[in-house]
Amino acid sequence: MHPDLSAQLRITTADPVRWIVAGRLLDAKNRRVLKNAHLVYDRNQILHAGVEAPDAAMLNGKTTADLTLPEFTALPGLIEGHSHTFLEGAELASEKRADYQKQDPETLFQKARPRLHMLARMGIISMRDGGDKDQVGLRLSRLTAGKDCPPFSAQVFSPGAGIYRQGRYGSFFGKPLEDYADIDSCVQGRIAEGADHIKIVPTGIINFAKGQVVSKPQFSVEEIQRFRQSSHARNRHLMAHASGDVGVGHAIDGGVDTVEHGFFITDDQLAKMRDRNISWVPTFSPVQEQVDHADIMGWTGETLDNLKTILANHATSLRKALALGVNVLVGSDSGSCGVGHGSGLFYEMELLENAGMPALDILCQATHGNNLALTNRQPYGSLEKGFKPRFIVTKHNPLETVRNLQGDRWVVFDGAAESSATVSLENL
Ligand SMILES: [Zn+2]
């Protein structure tokens, strides 16, 4: 450990510009790693990032770098592509999970809010939420969007309540379409409440005992097309929970922007997604957690075999998607059973790597790629001039394996700097 690294990375009033040289710098936008690169930043922005020496004019009189870290990697802060910020993901006991969700909206909000500071200190600077029915995500979105955003806090993008068919799957994080007269007024209603994107639930979930999605899709292709038109007319992307080949097919033909989960997706569907520029967020974690904790979850015999087969097939689909050139994004479904906030994203990256996605691709997609498709092109997710100084510095090279990101690291966030070792993993 460099004991005083956070002090050396931090901007102070007396010394408002930092100049560091990192052995490796991830240029996520151009999908490459720069060697011995300079990174100059102040409290508000990155002033320079690249192998060229910085202009003397920006250095506030400095002639040598503040910090030379030949063994370290600097990379942009991570963006969680799929979270349910209102839930405590790490909890496995079903009664405790059910009790947690019964709390009133204000309590859920007060419990979710400190997660944003913990996540930022872990190196996760932003999250695209997958929905909650208690306005927690919308309130966090408002809180973190403006100039009153608490310091060192991950920004949240929320769809408000997911939209599902009355009587079908989705009630714990959504509200039914039938609350409104039609699809367009439903989308309009969500946006009036502050939704950053629109989340629909076109399918049910996997029946683990049967090893497939047995319920019929919730929305027709035509209905999903209407969701698309209404969302795009108001500049919002359409996020779709979909598993099972029939329902995934509806989502793709309906023209959603992102397919979430996508278990049982076919190779033909992946090719269509590439052609139509639909992104895929495979979320291995929630199903992998069921296998990892099969004893607690009560899965044995055929059901456990089904789960393992589903994951193996999902990994095969991931490799196919990458070979085809599908835009695969990184989101863990954190908040769902066993998937803790923060730890879930690191685990998802590890599972993507185990399934065959190269570390460079995972890191670029979890930063720049997620920002392009999911968080409305914020000035972060890439180390470039003019972007916000929100990045990770680590001695454990994540380009060798993304697992290395779980080691000690320092996070710089708008001029402040903290060690990730200070984060307690309680209540995530
Ligand atoms: Zn979800």
| CA 331 to ligand 1 centroid distance, Å | 9
| CA 36 to ligand 1 centroid distance, Å | 39
| CA 159 to ligand 1 centroid distance, Å | 11
| CA 120 to ligand 1 centroid distance, Å | 21
Instruction: Give residue-wise pLDDT tens across range 314-372.
Output: 999 999 999 999 999 999 999 999 999 999 999 999 999 999 999 999 999 999 999 99
> Is the separation of the CB atoms in 153 and 116 below 8 Å?
yes
Helix or strand holding residue 79 (H, E): strand 78-83
| CA 82 to ligand 1 centroid distance, Å | 6
Say how far apart CA 87 and CA 379 lie, in whole Å: 28
Whether 49 maps to a domain, the answer reads yes
| CA 286 to ligand 1 centroid distance, Å | 9
Residues 346 and 414 occupy one common structural domain? no
| CA 83 to ligand 1 centroid distance, Å | 6
Whether 254 maps to a domain, the answer reads yes
Residues 320 and 178 occupy one common structural domain? yes
Say how far apart CA 4 and CA 236 lie, in whole Å: 43
Domain boundary among 338, 354, 374: 374
Residues 352 and 402 occupy one common structural domain? no
Whether 428 maps to a domain, the answer reads no
Residues 395 and 351 occupy one common structural domain? no
| CA 130 to ligand 1 centroid distance, Å | 5
Say how far apart CA 28 and CA 359 lie, in whole Å: 12
| CA 132 to ligand 1 centroid distance, Å | 10
| CA 358 to ligand 1 centroid distance, Å | 24
| CA 296 to ligand 1 centroid distance, Å | 21
Give the burial string for 29-64 (b: 16+ CB within 10 Å, else e): beeebbeebbbbbbbebbbbbbeeebeeeebeeeee
Q: Measuring CA to CA, how many Å separate 185 from each of 138, 174, 177, 188, 227? A: 18, 16, 9, 5, 10
Which pLDDT value is given to residue 181?
98
> Is the separation of the CB atoms in 125 and 78 below 8 Å?
yes
Residues 298 and 415 occupy one common structural domain? no
Show Cβ contacts of residue 102 under 8 Å, excluding neighbours closer than 6 positions: none
Residues 228 and 313 occupy one common structural domain? yes
Whether 127 maps to a domain, the answer reads yes
| CA 271 to ligand 1 centroid distance, Å | 24
Residues 84 and 191 occupy one common structural domain? yes
| CA 170 to ligand 1 centroid distance, Å | 10
DSSP annotation of 404 reads G
End-to-end distance of the chain based on CA atoms, in angstroms? 26
Say how far apart CA 387 and CA 132 lie, in whole Å: 30
Which pLDDT value is given to residue 426?
74
> Is the separation of the CB atoms in 33 and 399 below 8 Å?
yes
| CA 292 to ligand 1 centroid distance, Å | 19
Residues 59 and 188 occupy one common structural domain? no
| CA 253 to ligand 1 centroid distance, Å | 21
| CA 416 to ligand 1 centroid distance, Å | 31
Q: Which residues have CB less than 5 Å away from ligand 1 (the ion)? A: 130, 333
Residues 217 and 284 occupy one common structural domain? yes
Domain boundary among 359, 374, 389: 374
| CA 76 to ligand 1 centroid distance, Å | 24
| CA 334 to ligand 1 centroid distance, Å | 8
| CA 406 to ligand 1 centroid distance, Å | 23
Whether 45 maps to a domain, the answer reads yes
Q: Measuring CA to CA, how many Å separate 167 from each of 4, 164, 218, 227? A: 56, 9, 10, 19
| CA 89 to ligand 1 centroid distance, Å | 11
| CATH (domain of 19) | 2.30.40.10
| CA 176 to ligand 1 centroid distance, Å | 16
Whether 161 maps to a domain, the answer reads yes
| CA 68 to ligand 1 centroid distance, Å | 41
Q: Based on the structure, what is the number of domains in the chain?
A: 2
| CA 260 to ligand 1 centroid distance, Å | 8
Show Cβ contacts of residue 415 under 8 Å, excluding neighbours closer than 6 positions: 10, 11, 41, 42, 43, 44, 389
| CATH (domain of 262) | 3.20.20.140
Whether 199 maps to a domain, the answer reads yes
| CA 2 to ligand 1 centroid distance, Å | 38
| CA 90 to ligand 1 centroid distance, Å | 14
Instruction: Work out the number of other CB atoms within 10 angstroms of the CB of residue 67.
Output: 16
Which pLDDT value is given to residue 2?
57
Give the chain's residues under pLDDT 50. none
Pairing verdict, β 32-41 and 18-27: antiparallel
| CA 257 to ligand 1 centroid distance, Å | 15
| CA 379 to ligand 1 centroid distance, Å | 25
Residues 238 and 256 occupy one common structural domain? yes
Which pLDDT value is given to residue 428?
85
| CA 375 to ligand 1 centroid distance, Å | 16
Residues 276 and 387 occupy one common structural domain? no
| CA 387 to ligand 1 centroid distance, Å | 29
| CA 24 to ligand 1 centroid distance, Å | 34
Residues 26 and 107 occupy one common structural domain? no
Which pLDDT value is given to residue 37?
98
Q: Which domain holds residue 224?
A: 78-374
> Is the separation of the CB atoms in 336 and 87 below 8 Å?
yes
Whether 427 maps to a domain, the answer reads no
Which pLDDT value is given to residue 147?
85
